[in-house]
Structure 1
């Protein structure tokens, strides 16, 4: 058993809740550009700290007028947008508890969350969401109100609350303590029913205040510019909520973008010009892919690949020097880096608005080489790790000594322990209070103050954590070999043509892989080589060049493991893994059981004959 601790950098709050930072900032710096909101013409309108405070108060009074009281739960079903942040802080002002619902949730999922949380009201984004809630409302006796953002819900609430006296609002606000429940966030439910994680105001304060203090250069004001970020992660996910709270507590200008599609997200980043971003690896993978495609279309793929290799080597030399393992980049590497910075790396940064120098990544593992590339290109990505149950990040790479390919040290105020069976346990002020009305599940997850994560990992001699898989995802072949799938999956998925990879092999003679190809990337690959347009499954069967390309990707991934753990056969699937099909969670994790059931015939075919 090993463990590693990092002392807290901030004191826990002694009174009040998360909304108090909005009121304090409005008094201390009323003109601060606290947020930016989208205008009808696609531009950005600044919202000052005082304006935001006034809007929060108006909506909080409207909620009181509509009968929402301290301790009530109100569901929010929407994409990431400005109005969600207003509602969060209005609900926190009166001690109510927002309950996020993913906007892509099915009627059955909505019914379960609203019933389990006993929500008294629900805010939806548009008419389709309202119809989804309406279809299950008969089974929700506690639900009294449904408000629709696109039908002017905030304006109506503000008008309704005009007659609510200040003292009623103040009494609710003063009743909120750090120990009060701030929100109930339901797990994405890769297996079984989603469970409601009860997170307090103190949990969010411990998480965000220590992260802001540790990453001072990322979150704090400089003399020449105010830090700014664009929040595009789902606010229904704990990572997005953590970003929101950290930004408003640290005085970071916060903008919102509801779409993760590169065609929407990249222009938003370019126009908002954030100084840092917080994302999942998928975003960085897509950014890298778009840069590579642009180079290929311009006939400059070979120079681009040389620039990528130079960035990786440069960043690796810097990393080795930080750990006392070398002198750093050579003179030749520094000159080469300067040349490529002007020709290539600056263009990559320009896609993000030109000001980004720091980024944080979580949600799933990030390829080490991808992290090194971005560091070499002038954007240091601090990879971290966490769960809903610990209010997002439990670990993150330290700003002065990132070790790419790991998820870093415990964030300040946190201890990470590796149990005897390799499971990662976490202790700290951000660890949740338990699952809503589920003492048995809480007992199994919280053990003498430790959060048993269900993830497997190891700590190196410097206290850096590496996640190797999930206990429930371990594959056991018919020969008894136990294999953690994520290392191989991530390596195969790093190929530009591969969108998803899922390993199979439980009670089978060897490890196989199900591959989903990126249809757009494949189409470009085919046309650049003068090949006919073919679907991924057809091309995988009939195109020997594609077969060789995928086999090289699998072979490269296999170099990370022993032969008994290696991928011996793969199959390209005809469909895509999407959230709509129930094959991905809203946070883009694979629902393994659902995939195995959907593609059971393909899995059988994978093992119909012995591998070569």
Structure 2
């Protein structure tokens, strides 16, 4: 082993189950607002739900589950978007000792059948008629499935009525026998290759990162004297979303739910709910930045925004050097520029996020350093953390007052991290999962002497900061034997406003290539501002687009060695998404599927490059013949 980081002791261990926090908060501060729900779908008015009101709803549903025959150890799936009912249902199930199996509502029929059968669910909660039909089509293969509850037809009210005659003491008795090491969630991995595996997560493992983060960073969620608030929009079907829910309910943070992830819906929700803290994934922060740029350009202020963005990054980088003891901080001229843009630009950008967000957390994959510096420079510091399903969420966080952009921070208290000789990150701590359901072989392969082999690659610096460089299984080996980790190149490519997605390829090829999809909103804006004349406008537009993407490729190449650089690329007409099976429900790329799906395009890309004469790198990447015209 090369690197080893041992964290200080963690917080006090859990003594019961996750549902206890709902009951304890209600007893301690009954009138505290813990949830907020829209008065009507799409409404800008939010009604607060107090701790005692939530507890009573949880108890009513728990009684309904008992009356329906749900017992400790039974597994019940929740197949719904991020909505208020998800939270109430999960805590009601935990209150009676049941185990929650999250299922993405966009899952295919085969995925639903596999998860419900593999986890032996006795019940499933769905949102609408379409989901009922999906579950119904596989019921014949699910002999243990006895209940299907549909939210949009009043299932919660029906459950509450069914449990009216169950004594409250029954729920109390069941809740009190739930142990910290009892399984709380069976969370299925995204399944980027092969069938998804069910990760058994205990009440202790789910509570541990939440309690540690609240103890060390909870005070940063809102200004002093204000109640913190979080808009939950990431799927609760993913462990990141579950961690956000746990943080809010365990920390007395007001939580609202937004089920729609579209730009307009999310923007409207941020404006009306006005959170103090933002949790998102890098693609959301990238999209927000691109929207800022697009809106500025449409208003004729694109150059002003780009100067403001550059100043924000420079200012944040100088502040970072100062707090790390490596510099004196921003100089007079930079502080003056930053103050000017604060009055004219930055406060307006923060207003677009609701006006109260001053800190945020990014997770799911690494956040590009330039993007982190931009947000810090406009007054919203974004902590970049690291975790995975098998660790019940986060295992690292940026130390307060010593934040370092471009890394995912240091190990959480109570968690140990080390890096193996091949660069794989190993984790040990209270949040590590219990194992994979029905797959002892996979469990033994992942858990090695108490250490979880994450499959991620990275390194620890001398101060214990962890940097993620990619996934072990994603490393590309070119025909010359060069190993290339694609994550950094893909991340840099996505920084260009026109680039939506990027997949680096090159296994057994003479050089590295890239498949690129375009951001539809920014593409429309770019085309509208393109000044081209003559009858051949369409051909000129295609050439201009290829040249613009070639500049993005050249910028990405500037961050790596020549042997690792992208020497060929292909612009694809359609994005990777779940409907074509090229994205997981958690928005991760299914690389093997993408390579198979676009095998012909990849072959044509390399054939076109082989026909090009030898040129300097910049000339080579900017010279493409008709074979690379995907718009023909």
Normalising by structure 1, report the TM-score: 0.97
Q: Which moved more, 1:145-154 or 1:212-221?
A: 212-221
1:131 counterpart = 2:133: yes
Give the whole-Å Cα distance in 1 for the aligned partners of 2:376 and 2:502.
26
Give the whole-Å Cα distance in 1 for the aligned partners of 2:431 and 2:538.
48
User: Unmatched 5+ residue regions in structure 2?
Assistant: 613-619, 621-632
Matching residue of 1:608: 607
1:59 paired residue among 58, 61, 73: 61
1:26 counterpart = 2:37: no
Matching residue of 1:570: 569
Q: SS at 1:163's partner residue?
A: coil
Matching residue of 1:38: 38
Matching residue of 1:310: 311
* 1:212–1:219 CA contact under 8 A, matched in 2: no
1:347-392 CA-to-partner distances (Å, cap 9, x unmatched) read 1111111000010000112111110010000000000111100011
Matching residue of 2:454: 453
Give the whole-Å Cα distance in 2 for the aligned partners of 1:326 and 1:282.
31
* 2:512–2:564 CA contact under 8 A, matched in 1: yes
* 1:539–1:546 CA contact under 8 A, matched in 2: no
Matching residue of 1:412: 413
Give the whole-Å Cα distance in 1 for the aligned partners of 2:223 and 2:542.
54
Q: SS at 1:586's partner residue?
A: coil
Equivalent positions of 1:98-497 (< 5 A) are: 98-219=100-221, 222-223=224-225, 225-497=226-498
1:555 counterpart = 2:554: yes
User: Unmatched 5+ residue regions in structure 1?
Assistant: none
State the 1:544 CA deviation.
2.6
1:544-590 CA-to-partner distances (Å, cap 9, x unmatched) read 32222111111111111111111001010122111121111111111
* 2:222–2:229 CA contact under 8 A, matched in 1: no
State the 1:523 CA deviation.
1.4
Q: Which moved more, 1:398-407 or 1:269-278?
A: 398-407
State the 1:448 CA deviation.
0.6
Q: SS at 2:580's partner residue?
A: coil
State the 1:531 CA deviation.
4.7
Give the whole-Å Cα distance in 1 for the aligned partners of 2:117 and 2:205.
25
State the 1:155 CA deviation.
0.7
* 2:417–2:426 CA contact under 8 A, matched in 1: yes
Q: SS at 2:435's partner residue?
A: coil
Matching residue of 2:578: 579
* 1:9–1:213 CA contact under 8 A, matched in 2: no
* 1:120–1:144 CA contact under 8 A, matched in 2: yes
* 1:394–1:414 CA contact under 8 A, matched in 2: yes
Give the whole-Å Cα distance in 1 for the aligned partners of 2:313 and 2:10.
33
Q: Which moved more, 1:163-172 or 1:467-476?
A: 163-172
Q: Which moved more, 1:280-289 or 1:57-66?
A: 280-289
Give the whole-Å Cα distance in 2 for the aligned partners of 1:567 and 1:373.
26
* 1:220–1:251 CA contact under 8 A, matched in 2: no
* 2:222–2:277 CA contact under 8 A, matched in 1: no
Give the whole-Å Cα distance in 2 for the aligned partners of 1:489 and 1:595.
14
* 1:540–1:547 CA contact under 8 A, matched in 2: no
Structure 2 vs 1, CA of residues 194 and 412 (structure 1 numbering), >3 Å: closer, same or farther? same
Q: SS at 1:229's partner residue?
A: strand
Matching residue of 2:623: none
Q: SS at 1:389's partner residue?
A: helix
Matching residue of 2:615: none
1:47 counterpart = 2:53: no
* 2:59–2:168 CA contact under 8 A, matched in 1: no
State the 1:316 CA deviation.
0.1
Give the whole-Å Cα distance in 1 for the aligned partners of 2:223 and 2:558.
45
Normalising by structure 2, report the TM-score: 0.94
Give the whole-Å Cα distance in 1 for the aligned partners of 2:301 and 2:11.
49
Structure 2 vs 1, CA of residues 539 and 507 (structure 1 numbering), >3 Å: closer, same or farther? farther
Matching residue of 1:596: 595
Structure 2 vs 1, CA of residues 284 and 220 (structure 1 numbering), >3 Å: closer, same or farther? closer
